[in-house]
Amino acid sequence: MKIQSRIIIALATVLVGTFAFTSCTDKVAFGDSFLDKASGNSVTEDTVFNSATYTEQYLNSIYALQYYGLPYNNNCGNSVSPWTGKFDQLTDCWVMHWNNNTIYNAYYSGTLDATQTPLLSYTNDNVWQAVRAGWKLISHLPTVPGLSAEQKASMKAQAQCLIAARYFDLFAVYGGLPLVDHAYSGTEGTYTLPRASVDSTVNFMVNLLDSAIDSKALRWAYDGNTTETDSTNNIGRWTEAGAMALKAKILTFAASPLFNSAQGYYGGTSEAEKQHLVWYGNYDPARWQRALKACQDFFNELGAKGWYHLTTPEEVGCKKDPDGYRQAYRKGYAFQGSHEIIHSTRVLTVDAFKSGTYTWHQWLDNPARQNCLPTEEYIEMFPWSSGKPFNWKADLAAGNIEGANGHLFYRYKAVRGGVVKTAQRDPRLYEECIVNGQQKSLDWTSGKSNGDIYELWVGGNDASNHVASHSDSLGTILQEQLTARYATGYDQNKYYMNQDYLRKYCQWVYLSLDEMYLMYAECLAQTGNLSGALEQVNVVRRRVGLANIENFPIYDANDKQIPAATWTANKDDVINEILRERACELGLSNNHYYDMIRYKKGEWMTTQLHGIITYRMQRNSKGQWVRNYNAWIGPDKDANGAASEPTRFEYEKFEIQNRRHALWGMDPNSPEVTRWYLWPFPQSEINKGYGLVQNPGW
C-alpha cells in the first residue's frame, strides 16, 4: 500500500535538513534543548553527526520524548496535558470530578470515537518522533568521529530501549502497530507501512531489547561509583536492568487473556481479530512460560549483580512502625536514586507549590480540576495493618468500623495526659490516599508525618460540605460537589504529598522492583507454582510490615469467606489477590488500568462505585454518642477535654452519582463494554488506506 501518512510526516519533522528539539525533561540527564547551537537557530544533520558532543546531546534529547505520566505541559504531548486525565481514573479505584477534560467528555460519557484523541494519542505523544530519532541515531553512529566503540555500542543499545519503550506505550492501549524499522527521510514519495499482528509487534519490541541486552553495552545500574556511573547525572538512562524488566513486562502483558485467549475479546469476527491484530488467535501456555523466563532472567541477574532492592524503614532511619513503613514506601517511589526504581522519567521542575509548569499540586487545589479521587472500593482493597484482608460487612459486624472499638483508619487509646493514635491499615493506604484523621504535613528533615489532621467529616475543616451536609429537617444531604477535593470522602496523596524535603525533580516511575516482584508472582501463578507466587507477593508485603498473605482467609465477591487452605490452592483466587496487591502497591502508575484491560475485567468498568460520608461523634448531655456537625473548635473541642482531635466517628457509604459512567450497569461481557479494552486509531489515519485496520467496535 502507498501512503503519505501523518506518522511518516510527523517522524520526518524530527530531522530533515535542519532540526532542533525542545525537551520536557531534565536538562542534566536529557537535555533541556537539543544542543548548544554554535550559531543561528538550527544546525544541519551533517554537523550533528560529525560531532561526538552533538551526537551525545541528540541521544539525550530522545529521552525528552519518553512517556511521562503526571500532568505537566500541553506542549509535551497529549498524555501529560492537565486537560487529559489519568489512565487509572477509568478503573474502579479512582474517579475524576471535573467536567472539562478527556476523562469526562469522552470516557465517562461513553462518547469517545475515532475522531477524538484518547488519553494516549497515536499521533500526538511524541512516539513516532522518538522512534524515528532512535533509528536516525543508530544509522549514523558507525561514522560519528570521536566516540569509542564502547560508547557507540552503549548509545545504540539505549536507542533500542527508547524505541521499544515507546512502542510498548502504544501497544498496551492499541494492540498491533505498524513496524518502523529504520529512519525514513521524509522525502520518499510512497510508503508501505501496514499494521502488524500482535505476535509480530511483540517480537519486534522484544528483539530490540534482546539486542540491547546481548550487546553487554548497557550498565546494570548507575550506582554512583564513578563520575560516569553516578546516579545524579544519569538517573533515567536505560540500563540492562531496565531492558530486562521492560522485556518481562511486555511478555507478561502479551501472555495475558486480552491477547492470549481462545477467542478474541470482541467475539472474534471483526477484521482486526481475523488478522490477529488485537490477539494471537489462540491460547498458548508457552507464552506464560516465556514471560516467566524473562522474570527469572531478571532476578538471576539481580542476584549476581545486586544494587536494586526494596527500601526498608531501617534504610531511611525509621522504626518498624506504621509511619516508618510508610516512609520507606514513599522513599521507594519518590526519591531520586531509589534502589527500587529501575527506570524513570522526570521533568525540570521540583514540586514547588503552585510554581512552574508542573501542575500536580497547582491543579489539585481548589478548584480541584485535576482531582483523582479514591473510591471506597479502592480503600477496601487495603488490608489491616496486620495484613488481614479488609471486608466491610465482616468488619462492621465485628465492631472494627463503628462503635466503641471502631478503628477504620486509626485506633485511639486513652493514656495519662492524652491519647495514643496508631494507624490501623496497610501503610501504603496513607501514602496513596488521604483519609480522615491523617496528618497533613511531613517533617522537612526526616519525612515523618506531622502537623494538623485532615478533617474529612461532615462540617470538618477540610471536607466541609463537599461530600454531604446536614439539615435538622432533611437529615443528611448528599453533596458530592464537583471541582472540589474530597467529593468521594477521600483524596489522593501519591505524588501530591510534601516532596519539598526530598528536594528532587518530579519523576515518573516507569519500571520498579516492586512491580517486578508482583509480575514474577503472576507468571509463577499462571504456570502453576502458586506457593512460589505467594512468596514473591510476601516480599513486597513484608517491606510495609504486613504478614504473609497465605496466613489469612479472603472474601469472594459475595462477602463469603474463603479459608486460606482453599483459596491458596486455586489459581484464579491467587491471581485475583495478586491483582489486588498490585492495586495497593502500584497506585496511580497506570498498572491497575493495564490489569483491567489485559485481564478483560469488564466488571471493573461497569460496577457502581461508592464514596464514604464520615460523621464526627460526640457525647450529649445524656452520655449518648450522637453526630455533631459543628466545627471542631471552642465548646465542642472543650467538651472532649480539649483533645487535639476527635476520636470517634461513624461511616456511611453512598453511591457516586455526579460521576456516573455510561458503562455502569451494562453487561461487562457485552460488545458495548469489551470494545473499550483497546482504543480507536484516528479515523484520519484509517482513511489514508495504508493498512491501519481499526480496532473492534470503533
Do residues 436 and 465 share a domain?
A: yes
CB-CB contact of 547 with 342 (8 Å): no
CB-CB contact of 508 with 394 (8 Å): no
Question: 565: which DSSP letter?
Answer: H
Q: Which of 158-162, 276-280, 491-495 has the lowest mean pLDDT?
A: 491-495
In percent, the amount of the chain with pLDDT more than 70 equals 86
Is position 447 within any domain?
yes
Rounded CA-CA distance 240/589 in Å is 22
Select, from the ranges 224-228, 449-453, 515-519, the one with the highest average predicted confidence (pLDDT): 515-519
Query: Which grid cell is 693?
Result: 485496520
Spatial CB neighbours of 72, under 8 Å, sequence gap ≥ 6: 24, 80, 81, 82, 347, 349, 357, 358, 359
Indicate the helix (H) or strand (E) that contains 141. Answer: none
CA atoms within 13 A on the CB side of 372: 29
Task: Kindly give the residue spans of alpha helices, DSSP state H, lying in 544-590.
Answer: 564-567, 571-585
CB-CB contact of 451 with 444 (8 Å): no
pLDDT of residue 352: 46
pLDDT confidence of 658, banded at 50, 70, 90? confident
Do residues 408 and 268 share a domain?
A: no
Domains contained in the chain, number: 2
CB-CB contact of 426 with 328 (8 Å): no
Angle at 314 between CA 309 and CA 318, to 5 degrees: 130
The number of residues making up the chain comes to 698
pLDDT of residue 502: 57
Main-chain dihedrals φ then ψ at residue 410, nearest 5 degrees: -140, 150
Amino acid at 545: G
Q: What is the residue range of 382's domain?
A: 322-506+610-655
CB-CB contact of 537 with 518 (8 Å): yes
Spatial CB neighbours of 293, under 8 Å, sequence gap ≥ 6: none
Do residues 389 and 481 share a domain?
A: yes
Do residues 498 and 454 share a domain?
A: yes
pLDDT confidence of 674, banded at 50, 70, 90? very high
Do residues 100 and 187 share a domain?
A: yes
Is position 585 within any domain?
no
pLDDT confidence of 57, banded at 50, 70, 90? very high
**Farthest CA pair distance, the chain:** 89
Q: Does residue 142 have a pLDDT over 70?
A: yes
CA 173, 179, 184, 187 dihedral sign is negative
Q: Which residue has the higher pLDDT, 86 or 414?
A: 86
* CA neighbor of 439 nearest in space, from 499, 503, 497: 497
Average pLDDT score over residue span 408-423: 89
Do residues 300 and 392 share a domain?
A: no
pLDDT confidence of 403, banded at 50, 70, 90? confident
Is position 595 within any domain?
no
pLDDT of residue 350: 58
* CA neighbor of 63 nearest in space, from 124, 13, 151, 134: 134
pLDDT of residue 41: 44
Main-chain dihedrals φ then ψ at residue 404, nearest 5 degrees: -60, -30
* CA neighbor of 563 nearest in space, from 550, 546, 572: 550
Q: Does residue 238 have a pLDDT over 90?
A: yes
pLDDT confidence of 349, banded at 50, 70, 90? low
* CA neighbor of 533 nearest in space, from 555, 512, 548, 552: 548
**How does strand 410-415 pair with strand 418-423?**
antiparallel
CB-CB contact of 599 with 579 (8 Å): yes
Q: Does residue 53 have a pLDDT over 90?
A: yes
Do residues 271 and 328 share a domain?
A: no
Do residues 265 and 330 share a domain?
A: no
CA 577 to chain centre: 18
Is position 277 within any domain?
yes
Helix-strand-coil split of the chain, %, nearest 5: 40, 15, 50
CA 332, 335, 338, 342 dihedral sign is positive
Query: Which grid cell is 193?
Result: 507501512
Q: Which of 16-20, 144-148, 460-464, 506-510 has the lowest mean pLDDT?
A: 16-20
Is position 512 within any domain?
no
pLDDT of residue 366: 60
Average pLDDT score over residue span 345-373: 67
Q: Does residue 634 have a pLDDT over 80?
A: no
pLDDT confidence of 509, banded at 50, 70, 90? very high
* pLDDT (tens digit per residue) in 61-82: 999 999 999 887 766 788 988 8
Rounded CA-CA distance 413/420 in Å is 5
CB-CB contact of 592 with 91 (8 Å): yes
Rounded CA-CA distance 148/476 in Å is 72
pLDDT confidence of 481, banded at 50, 70, 90? confident
Task: Kindly give the residue spans of alpha helices, DSSP state H, lying in 366-495.
Answer: 376-379, 392-397, 427-432
> What pTM value is reported for the model?
0.93
Is position 301 within any domain?
yes
Query: Is the omega angle on the peptide bond into residue 322 within 30 degrees of 0, that is, cis?
Result: no
Rounded CA-CA distance 260/579 in Å is 18
pLDDT confidence of 346, banded at 50, 70, 90? confident
In percent, the amount of the chain with pLDDT more than 90 equals 72
Do residues 132 and 204 share a domain?
A: yes
Do residues 361 and 486 share a domain?
A: yes
CA 297 to chain centre: 24
Q: At 184, which CATH number?
A: 1.25.40.390
Whole-number mean pLDDT of the chain? 88
Question: Within 10 Å of residue 9's Cβ, how many Cβ atoms?
Answer: 13
Amino acid at 75: N
pLDDT of residue 445: 76
Select, from the ranges 274-283, 397-406, 435-444, the one with the highest average predicted confidence (pLDDT): 274-283
Is position 535 within any domain?
no
pLDDT confidence of 10, banded at 50, 70, 90? very low
Instruction: Indicate the burial class of 473 (C-beta count within 10 angstroms; 0-12, 13-18, 19 or more).
Output: exposed
Do residues 131 and 155 share a domain?
A: yes
* pLDDT (tens digit per residue) in 243-286: 999 999 999 999 999 999 999 999 999 999 999 999 999 999 99
pLDDT confidence of 37, banded at 50, 70, 90? very low
Do residues 389 and 248 share a domain?
A: no
Is position 549 within any domain?
no
Q: How far apart are the first and last CA of the chain?
A: 22
pLDDT confidence of 503, banded at 50, 70, 90? low
